[in-house]
């Protein structure tokens, strides 16, 4: 199995799929394609028909899009989603909400793992709405389903993988959160797979000026 990813520093979608691949316990090879190079599009299209990364190749089968990759891997490893039906439905809802929404957050706070706690010069009402919705959503999941483990549904699940880049953004941009959400961010940042990705990102040197807001 091979996972094609983009820059670890900036590619939040690659991180989500990579976390799913690590959680699947399936051995996999990684291939990195740097974004914004003259040959980026051609190189991505060799693997991913959408022209976007991440893309998983398994025995000649291409699976692209972070959520589809996570679902594909979870077929073999069902515990990547919560096992309780109601918890699983909520985990899928919040994962889909992340995958299709939070446009202001995505545009105004791009993931940038070189950034350490520097607030944005200027926020916007749309960004504030996204942040408060995420805070409320996390608090709801943690209250209803969090248990002895610190993640949204107790055990580390695809829902946490979908929100891990958001936790990293909140850290990078110094966003102030309430108690439960703050503790959740700390737990995600300390997860060994997240730590491993961030350490590898520190070794990357290619800067993309558009993402250096
Ligand atoms: N919905 C897709 C989004 C994938 C996406 O936008 N990937 C970006 C990198 S983070 C990409 O490949 N961009 C191609 C480019 O900039 O040339 C997913 O969940 O995987």
Residue 66, ligand 1, Cβ within 6 A? yes
Residue closest via CA to ligand 1's atom 11 equals 52
Residue 6, ligand 1, Cβ within 6 A? yes
Strand-pairing partners, residue 58, are 61
**Ligand 1 center to 12 CA (angstroms):** 9
What pLDDT is attached to residue 206?
80
Residue 35, ligand 1, Cβ within 6 A? yes
Residue 56, ligand 1, Cβ within 6 A? no
What pLDDT is attached to residue 183?
96
Strand-pairing partners, residue 151, are 154
Residue closest via CA to ligand 1's atom 16 equals 35
* pTM of the full structure: 0.97
* Cis peptide leading into residue 54 (ω within 30°): yes
Q: In Å, how far from its chain's centre is CA 136?
A: 18
Contact yes or no for 127/107 (Cβ under 8 A)? no
Domains annotated on the chain, with CATH: 2-77 (3.40.30.10), 80-196 (1.20.1050.10)
Each residue's pLDDT expressed in tens, for the chain with a length of 213 residues: 999 999 999 999 999 999 999 999 999 999 999 999 999 999 999 999 999 999 999 999 999 999 999 999 999 999 999 999 999 999 999 999 999 999 999 999 999 999 989 999 899 999 999 999 999 999 999 999 988 899 999 999 999 999 999 999 999 999 999 889 999 999 999 999 999 999 999 999 888 888 887
Q: Which two tokens stand for residue 196?
A: 């491993």
* 157 SS3 class: coil
Environment class of 6 (CB within 10 Å of its CB; exposed 0-12, middle 13-18, buried 19+): buried
Q: In Å, how far from its chain's centre is CA 55?
A: 14
**Ligand 1 center to 35 CA (angstroms):** 10
**Ligand 1 center to 209 CA (angstroms):** 17
Q: Report residue 115: phi and psi, to 5°.
A: -95, 135
């Amino acid at each position: 199995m091979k996972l094609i990813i983009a820059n670890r520093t900036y590619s939040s979608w690659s991180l989500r799929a990579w976390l799913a691949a690590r959680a699947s316990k399936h051995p996999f090879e990684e291939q990195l394609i740097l974004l914004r190079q003259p040959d980026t599009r051609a190189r991505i299209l060799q693997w991913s028909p959408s022209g976007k990364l991440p893309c998983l190749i398994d025995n000649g089968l291409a699976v692209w899009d972070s959520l589809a990759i996570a679902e594909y891997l979870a077929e073999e490893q069902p515990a990547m989603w919560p096992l309780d039906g109601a918890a699983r439905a909520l985990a899928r809802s919040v994962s889909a909400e992340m995958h299709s929404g939070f446009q202001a957050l995505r545009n105004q706070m791009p993931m940038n793992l070189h950034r350490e706690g520097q607030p944005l010069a200027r926020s916007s009402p749309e960004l504030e709405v996204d942040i408060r919705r995420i805070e409320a959503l996390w608090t709801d999941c943690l209250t209803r389903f969090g248990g002895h483990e610190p993640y949204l549904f107790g055990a580390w699940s695809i829902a946490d993988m979908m929100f891990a880049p958001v936790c990293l953004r909140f850290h990078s941009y110094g966003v102030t959160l309430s108690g439960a959400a703050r503790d959740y961010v700390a737990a995600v940042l300390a997860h060994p797979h997240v730590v491993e990705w961030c350490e590898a990102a520190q070794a990357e040197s290619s800067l993309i000026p558009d993402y250096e807001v």
